[in-house]
Amino acid sequence: MPERVITFRNGHRVTVLDEGTDDTGPYLRLRHELPTPGRQAGPHWHPVLTEAWTVQQGRLAFRVDGQEIAAGPGETVRAAARTVHEFRSEVPDTVLDHEIRPPLRHLEMFTLWSALDRAGATTRSGAPRNPLALALLWELQDGYLAGIPAGIQRVIFGGLAAFARRTGYARRWIGPADPN
C-alpha cells in the first residue's frame, strides 16, 4: 500500500499505516506525529467504533470513562464504544499509533480536517470557523460530543451537514455526496 500522509499547518502528520479486515473485523491503523504539546481530542464518544492508542515516543494524558491515564512509550490506552474519552500530548514530538475498529469514516474526517486547516478555515486550536464545516466534521467522526444530548447534536449538526451537502458547500471540501 502506498504511504498516505495527511498534514496540518501545526506540523501534525497523520500517516495511514494499514487498513483492512482481520479475524475481529475491519480496522484502520494510523500514526500521528504531534510536534507541539496540547489538546488533541476533546471529550467525545462513538456509538459503534472503538479506539486504541499506543505511544511510540513522548507522553500522552488521557481521560477515558472519567479515569485519568498517563501513557508513555510502549503503553496502549483503549476506549470502547460508547465510552467518553479525550486526550492531549504532553511533550513535543510525541508519536502514537492509533487503531480504529471499525474505521467507518475516520480517515475521511482527518482528510477534511486537514483540507480545512491548510486553507486557513480553522482557528488556532483547529476548530472550523464555518459552522457548516464543523457539522461535516462532526458527521464524519461517527460520534458525539460529551455533555450535549445526542438527539440535539443530530438535529443541529446533522441538519447543518445536510444543508452543507444540499447547497454544494460540502463538495468544496469533500467531493460529491455518497448516494448511499
Cβ–Cβ contacts within 10 Å for residue 18, how many?
A: 12
- Total count of domains within the chain: 2
Average pLDDT taken over every residue of the chain = 93
In the chain the first and final C-alpha atoms are separated, in Å, by 27
Q: Average pLDDT, stretch 33-38?
A: 96
Is the domain of 66 the same as that of 12?
yes
Is the domain of 9 the same as that of 97?
yes
Q: Tell me the pTM.
A: 0.90
Comparing CA positions, the residue from 98, 93, 164 lying closest to residue 128 is 164
Is the domain of 149 the same as that of 69?
no
Q: Which residue has the cell 456509538?
A: 47
CATH of the domain at 44: 2.60.120.10
